[in-house]
Amino acid sequence: MSAKFIKTEQVEKSNYKDFKLKATDFYYGIEVAREAGLWHTMGVAAVHSTISIGDALTTNYLGVRSTADDHRLAKEILLKIQIDSMEQYCNVYGRIVAKKNAITYERRSFTEKESLEIAKQAQRFYDWAIKQLP
């Protein structure tokens, strides 16, 4: 089996702060959307918070971030980081990002129940990831 090629770009490790800031904005957007009953917005904020905090991690630890069209591939880069619980949280990352197309592009509505579940997972991932950053 051949290794997957994942498009990446080199980034200064100190730029993790930019991705952390974006992730934090999206993170707080989850709660704003919840209060307003905006379930699609809540789901999108959860996904983008997760993607951005993932970019903060890979930038800080590896000096790279994924530029692949499919954000699920970033999980492979995250797995290269040698920190406790990374594999467990990469699985959480994968479950969250896998919902992006359903939330954004599918005809059906993303329900309140689904939004609350993805928000819970995204908040769990964010809270863990933020502790792994300076």
Domain assignment present for 22: yes
Task: Return d(Cα 68, Cα 82) in angstroms, integer.
Answer: 22
Q: Which tokens go with 133? A: 């950053």
Domain assignment present for 108: yes
Residue 55: which domain range?
10-131
Which CATH number goes with the domain that contains 27? 1.20.120.330
Domain assignment present for 38: yes
Task: Return d(Cα 80, Cα 112) in angstroms, integer.
Answer: 34
What is the tens place of the pLDDT at every residue in 89-106? Answer: 999 999 999 999 899 998
Domain assignment present for 104: yes
In terms of C-beta density within 10 A (0-12 exposed, 13-18 middle, 19 or more buried), how is residue 62 classed?
Answer: middle
pLDDT along the chain (134 residues), means of 10: 74 98 98 98 98 98 91 90 95 95 91 97 98 98
Domain assignment present for 29: yes
Domain assignment present for 4: no
What is the tens place of the pLDDT at every residue in 33-47? Answer: 999 999 999 999 999
The confidence score (pLDDT) of residue 3 equals 54
The total of structural domains in the chain comes to 1
Domain assignment present for 2: no
Domain assignment present for 30: yes
